Chains A and B, each alone.
Chain A
């Protein structure tokens, strides 16, 4: 069964450093998403991406964050100058289409980011 893969599974970084979280979406999917979940809290939408540009972003997704599809398979989330409060699980997801119809969004297993 096709799946969304994320690397690394756990990333520890020092406050102020830049991190890049990587995702390989399902190959025929066109829409990509990042979500995050702070420990013990809800899963929160960060950003959606289609056709090499951001289609929607939440208030959380400020200038500290950026997304990129550097090649035909990877989708990355970059966090510049990490803060302690960026510590969370980050989930990548992908879907075949953007509007809910007869398909679903698939999530990866997440990257646990710990900022120390």
Chain B
């Protein structure tokens, strides 16, 4: 599976959009981009995934660049409950390789 690079941490103001970048320059044609988050050692929670097109669901939006070498997860209106570690994962299947992720802290 392709390796991903994410910033170690970021802060976000409550009510504002949080934009989480991820680089995956070695992604192969069939690999999907997945985003999970983990709130305080709970089980990883699925957020969103995509292959080529931008995706949106009730939790977030995923913007994938045309060359697929990077993506951005957007939490449109961050709340305090969105404080978590966010993982960007590139994979063909569910042998998911979790990196260190981005620790997002939402501040009031």
Q: Interface on A for B, CB 8 Å cutoff?
A: 4, 31, 33, 35, 37, 42-45, 48, 56, 89, 91, 93, 95, 98-100, 104-110
Measured between beta carbons, the chain A residues less than 8 angstroms from B43 are: 4, 91, 93, 107-110
Q: Interface on B for A, CB 8 Å cutoff?
A: 31-32, 34, 38, 41-46, 49, 87, 91-100
Measured between beta carbons, the chain B residues less than 8 angstroms from A99 are: 92-93
Measured between beta carbons, the chain B residues less than 8 angstroms from A33 are: 94-95
Measured CB to CB, the closest approach of chain A to B54, in angstroms, equals: 15
Measured between beta carbons, the chain A residues less than 8 angstroms from B98 are: 35, 42-44
* Residue of B49, B94, B99 contacting most chain A CB atoms (<10 Å): B94
Which of chain B's residues has its CB closest to A39's CB?
B41
A93 touches B94 (CB 8 A): yes
Measured between beta carbons, the chain B residues less than 8 angstroms from A43 are: 38, 44, 87, 96, 98
Measured between beta carbons, the chain A residues less than 8 angstroms from B32 are: 100
Task: Say whether, besides A106-B46, A107-B44, A98 and B97 are in contact (CB < 8 Å).
Answer: no
In-complex Cβ contact of A42 among B42, B95, B99 (8 A): B99
Docked Cα-Cα span, A98 to B49, in Å, equals 15
A45 touches B96 (CB 8 A): yes
Docked Cα-Cα span, A102 to B87, in Å, equals 19
Measured CB to CB, the closest approach of chain A to B103, in angstroms, equals: 12
Which of chain B's residues has its CB closest to A6's CB?
B43
Which of chain A's residues has its CB closest to B36's CB?
A107
Given A105-B96, A106-B46, 18 other A-B residues pairs in contact with their CB atoms under 8 A: A33-B94, A42-B98, A42-B100, A43-B38, A43-B96, A44-B98, A48-B93, A48-B95, A56-B95, A93-B44, A95-B94, A100-B32, A100-B34, A100-B92, A104-B34, A104-B46, A104-B49, A109-B43
